[in-house]
Structure 1
Amino acid sequence: MSQRPTILVISFSPIARDARVLREISALAEIGEVTSVGYGPTPPQVVQHLQIPDSAPSLPQTPSGVLKLATRRLRSAETAAPAARAAIRLVGDTRFDMVVANDARAIPTAFAVAHGAPIWADMHEWAPEERTHVTSWRLLVAPLMDHICREYLPRCAAVTTVGGEIADLYRRRYGVTPRLVRNAARYAELSPSPTNSDGSLRLVHSGGAVAGRNIESIIDAVKELDDRFTLDLYLVPGGDGGAHLTTLKDRAAGCERITFRDPVAPDSLPTVLNKYDVGVYWIPPFNTNARLALPNKIFDFIQARLAVAVGPAVEMARVVADYGIGISSTSNEIPDIVATLRALTPEKVADYKRASDRAAHELSFEHEKQTIHTIVRELTDSAAN
């Protein structure tokens, strides 16, 4: 084996825009030669990118694939998705020292191209209930995701996921013990910005303008608050052509304290957000992944050295409490959001921002990537540091 192991990363996503996979590749590239398989243009830090056609779905959405799902011929459906077939064809007979499968849908493909190489499954969320709020997904796709997890996770050489609660779910249902690689942002060399002397508080939210994220409630709550609160929103249009973003702008119309800003590249977010006071996020528990969410944006807020205000989502509320970086409400209802924000004072916010500053090293990707390096060394016997 060469001193630097060869690593295949499979992700059925536009990798160049996938913040978690980009960070994963950056850590892998420090100690190995990375080839990526996924949609879109070549991501940075890979030696080769095998591009899956955008027209190839990552689920078995063809008539024959849907029939396999409907009749529970799950084994034959494992690699029936056009994207899986394309990935297998693109990789061909090339051999790698290890293979990384991002999310459950990529795991059977990883086994099909690994030729016996060890496989690391990086589970970005709780796969069996990824989109169970969508009826067709719940009826047709959920059984396939459960089948893949049950059949393949115990055979993977390593499994990781994003939070402790989700790790416990994988442990209880599938008998595997995932390690944690949280969705932490890179460490940013920043200091907390001072709060305004007039007592006003600058709230901010960043992320996708996607239905179900409850951004409407943040807007409604700020409209009920007094004039010392402003809200800036850095929203990326969703896959609906920006329709939901337009709905949000209409909802905020007439409130001069709410401003929509142009979206910012992930690596630039902490620097841009640093001028604000409080990063805010409330998401209702419409499925297990929402209930246990610990998303990128929380870590962006921390690297920006902001106070953090969130709802009662278990993982987010735990980080906020454990590190003393902000407050969490008792529910996702607008009166509770209003009361939670109204209780903030500039003095409390300054304390929370200093706590974020103290936590920034531990809650950074530089800390998380050590787990990735350990996995590579274990799976490839690499002596790289």
Structure 2
Amino acid sequence: MSRPRILCISFSDIRSDARVLRQLEVLARFGDVTTLSYGARPDAAADHLELDRALPSLPQTPLGVAKLALRRFASVALDAPAMVAARGLLADREFDVVVANEARALPLAFAVAGSPKIWCDLHEWAPAERTHVLSWRLLVAPFMYWVCARYLPRVDAATTINTSIADMYAEQFGVRPEIVRNARPFVPELSPSPVTEGLTRLVHSGGAVPGRNIEAIIDAVDRLGEGYSLDLFLIPSRQGDAYWQKLTERIERSPRTTLHPAVPPDDLPAALNPFDLGVFLLPPHTPNHRLMLPNKFFDFVQARLGMVYGTSVETDRLIGDHGLGVVTPGYSAEDLVHALRGMTAARIRQYKEAADGVAESMSSDADVLVEEGILVRLTDGDTTAGTGVGEARGPA
């Protein structure tokens, strides 16, 4: 009997997308996976359809923008340059299961030939992905809301990163996604690194994109002075050349900040382990920021680091419940300086030991079970058990 044919769509470079990489490892156990994304073929994929990195996944052409402004969403859903290219690459190929990573991939998933089962992995609250940007708020947010309203009730499975965001999908679209956090596999070989008296080693990892407030962390470590250092493991944005140049110039002016090359997701815990405190100060520009539970939270846990986070609903709860670190009331350099000044080596050791204590329970084991359950249902033909989704599709 032939293995199920699985298509995984992600408008990212999957090789540097930790969430989709973990997803692929599970998909590959259930079938032969074809990936459709920017960048080269990920290792777990049997086949790959590569999109040109220059092609946007939203309808940003003059005609596309005009259609968004006129709310002609049905006619623009597949007009984005990357969507047009993707349909050409797919042609009439058929699949048994299609995994749409993020809501923007749903129109394409429903256009795939045949009648595949569709699982949508909603990495965040789609209608507010970038609502701090005026053009997104005016043009794209209404389109994303339409995509969710039109397609989500017809998928066979849906997942998202935490309960807060799942509740929003249930309230707005009548679909309650299952929870697949951004947790990563347990790294048993790591333990808390020693803490050096008189030196606090801060570290931050992730995408170097505007709005992440990396500058505030650099400013804080410069203000703190002797006894503090900051190491950055950053991934430049695909569209962020100007910002990247500005940020690297700021880093070069800081005597206490070191920029490292990005490391593969699997290697990140070991790269972070020598440091003391993982730092993230993301202002709540959007509901996704306010309700975040990002990859880096779980990266810091597996690296056995303490944490300093700007206040956010989900991370506040986990940090407080498990004694993992400090939550700052605001997101400025001064907030971070206040949180760090006077923090003792003994407290840092406590935070790192607390991370060690929860590393196994906060690993991706529970999330893999959810994904495996979905794939068992989809590949066996039972698409509705336990999901609250999977209504008759009708025309796309």
In the other structure, the counterpart of 1:149 is 148
Residue pair 1:299, 1:364 contacting (<8 A) in 2 also: yes
- Which deviates more, 250-259 or 42-51? 250-259
In the other structure, the counterpart of 1:193 is 193
Tell me the distance in 2 between the aligned counterparts of 1:75 and 1:27. 33
Give matches, 1:243-262, under 5 Å.
Answer: 243-252=242-251, 255-262=254-261
CA distance 1:62–1:334, change in 2 (3 Å): closer
Tell me the distance in 2 between the aligned counterparts of 1:261 and 1:298. 19
The total of aligned residue pairs comes to 381
CA distance 1:104–1:262, change in 2 (3 Å): same
In the other structure, the counterpart of 1:25 is 24
Residue pair 1:98, 1:380 contacting (<8 A) in 2 also: yes
Tell me the distance in 2 between the aligned counterparts of 1:367 and 1:124. 17
CA distance 1:94–1:244, change in 2 (3 Å): closer
In the other structure, the counterpart of 2:290 is 291
Shift in Å, 1:300: 1.1
Q: Deviations over 1:87-132 (max 9, x none)?
A: 2332233322211101111101111115322211101111101111
Shift in Å, 1:382: 8.1
Residue 34 of structure 2 aligns to a residue in which SS?
Answer: strand
Q: Deviations over 1:17-44 (max 9, x none)?
A: 3222121111111222111112221111
Tell me the distance in 2 between the aligned counterparts of 1:182 and 1:131. 21
- Aligned partner letter, 2:374: I
CA distance 1:346–1:242, change in 2 (3 Å): farther
Shift in Å, 1:349: 1.3
Q: Deviations over 1:201-235 (max 9, x none)?
A: 21111122222111111112222225222211222
CA distance 1:287–1:121, change in 2 (3 Å): same
Shift in Å, 1:255: 4.6
Give matches, 1:1-40, under 5 Å.
Answer: 2=2, 4-40=3-39
Shift in Å, 1:293: 1.8
Tell me the distance in 2 between the aligned counterparts of 1:203 and 1:226. 13
Tell me if 1:98 matches 2:97.
yes
Superposition TM-score, scaled by structure 2 size: 0.90
In the other structure, the counterpart of 1:72 is 71
Shift in Å, 1:321: 1.7
Tell me if 1:334 matches 2:333.
yes
CA distance 1:283–1:219, change in 2 (3 Å): same
Tell me the distance in 2 between the aligned counterparts of 1:363 and 1:351. 18
Residue pair 1:184, 1:299 contacting (<8 A) in 2 also: yes
Give matches, 1:320-331, under 5 Å.
Answer: 320-331=319-330
Tell me if 1:42 matches 2:41.
yes
Tell me the distance in 2 between the aligned counterparts of 1:96 and 1:256. 54
Q: Which runs of 5+ in 2 are unaligned?
A: 383-396
In the other structure, the counterpart of 1:223 is 222
In the other structure, the counterpart of 2:364 is 365
In the other structure, the counterpart of 1:278 is 277
- Aligned partner letter, 1:377: V
Shift in Å, 1:362: 2.2
Residue pair 1:5, 1:382 contacting (<8 A) in 2 also: no
Residue 30 of structure 2 aligns to a residue in which SS?
Answer: coil
- Aligned partner letter, 1:139: L
CA distance 1:254–1:64, change in 2 (3 Å): closer
- Which deviates more, 286-295 or 80-89? 80-89
Superposition TM-score, scaled by structure 1 size: 0.93
Tell me the distance in 2 between the aligned counterparts of 1:193 and 1:300. 15
Shift in Å, 1:265: 2.1
Residue 194 of structure 1 aligns to a residue in which SS?
Answer: coil
Q: What RMSD in Å do the two structures reach over aligned CA positions?
A: 2.1
Tell me if 1:108 matches 2:107.
yes
Shift in Å, 1:283: 0.7
Tell me the distance in 1 between the aligned counterparts of 2:32 and 2:50. 17
In the other structure, the counterpart of 2:57 is 58
- Aligned partner letter, 2:192: P
Q: Which runs of 5+ in 1 are unaligned?
A: none
- Aligned partner letter, 2:150: E
In the other structure, the counterpart of 2:387 is none
Tell me the distance in 1 between the aligned counterparts of 2:241 and 2:156. 41
